[in-house]
């Protein structure tokens, strides 16, 4: 079994009030969550969305399966692949800690329109 974790963030202003959207898809599984976030930059919100997505999988006890993490944030994916981000080191370290709960986590950048489910959930979080 492979889990697909789609994450996205939405921000009103930069920085501004933000929201995160999480979509998890697997065999016989579909989880959707949205989280209102504090005022933060769009990049901070994208990293936070990844953290919340991984935390959701851990809370749901879905840690036995490999995970493919999809994000439309090139910065997030590049940072996680390099295990380094000049201005987001704490976020990368926190995500790295969460990833230790899984056999493997692959990182995949996708275009905005391919991440519509998580995007719509992030927009919902802004409106709550």
CATH label of the domain that carries residue 119: 3.30.420.10
* The pLDDT value given to residue 127: 82
DSSP assignment, residue 27? T
Please state the domain count of the chain: 1
- Backbone phi, psi, residue 98, to 5°: -65, -35
pTM for the predicted model, two decimal places: 0.96
Q: Which two tokens stand for residue 76?
A: 């997030």
Domain that holds residue 115: 3-126
How many Cβ atoms from other residues are within 10 Å of residue 116's Cβ?
14
pLDDT in tens, 95-119: 999 999 999 999 999 999 999 999 9
| pLDDT beneath 50: ranges in the chain | none
How many Cβ atoms from other residues are within 10 Å of residue 53's Cβ?
29
Would you call 121 helix, strand, or coil by DSSP? helix
* The pLDDT value given to residue 116: 94
* The pLDDT value given to residue 15: 96
């Amino acid at each position: 079994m492979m889990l697909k974790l789609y994450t996205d963030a939405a921000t009103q202003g930069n920085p501004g009030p933000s929201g995160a959207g999480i979509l998890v898809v697997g065999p016989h599984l579909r989880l959707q969550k949205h989280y209102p976030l504090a005022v933060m930059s769009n990049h901070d919100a994208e990293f936070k969305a990844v953290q919340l997505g991984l935390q959701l999988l851990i809370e749901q006890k879905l840690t036995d399966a490999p995970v493919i993490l999809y994000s439309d944030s090139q910065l997030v994916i590049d940072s996680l692949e390099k295990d380094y981000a000049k201005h987001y080191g704490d976020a990368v370290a926190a995500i790295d800690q969460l990833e230790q709960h899984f056999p493997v986590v692959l990182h995949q950048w996708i275009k905005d329109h391919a991440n519509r489910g998580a995007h719509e959930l992030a927009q919902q979080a802004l409106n709550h």
